[in-house]
Structure 1
Amino acid sequence: MENSIWLMLLTGLLALGIGVFVGRKMLSKSFDSKEQEAEEKAALILKNAEIQAESIKKDRMLEAKEKYL
């Protein structure tokens, strides 16, 4: 009887340990995925901002040329 209690306790602790390990791996994978998604989105925003800045720069230079001509 005492051995079965120890066996159940050991089995429960082992299951808990495996559950924690698997849960952390899944959570880590989820965080990595979200981090990569955020980096890609930030790169896209930066690229769009650079394109917009270049467009504004060209417009301002054209306005300046027209003003002095």
Structure 2
Amino acid sequence: MDSQPLEGDYPTSFWDIGEVIEDEHILTVNEDAPSGLCRLEVGMYELATGQRLPVLDEPRKVKDIRILLPLSIQVESQ
């Protein structure tokens, strides 16, 4: 899935450091997806270049280019 945060209604250039932004998405799983646990990773990139933006930790050091969300999704075939 690829989309602008908040459907582009609140550009990232307006965001403040430490501000929490909630952006809800509904994910659809294909009917033929295999059963089992799935990981969900999120990340952001520069629209003009496609270059991934870094994820910073508390001391503002680069940690990664994506975040693994703290949840598991169980896909069960029908």
What TM-score results when the alignment is normalised by the length of structure 2?
A: 0.16
Larger relative CO (CA 8 A, sep 6+): 1 or 2? 2
Q: Which has the higher helix share?
A: 1
Q: Which has the larger radius of gyration?
A: 1
What TM-score results when the alignment is normalised by the length of structure 1?
A: 0.17
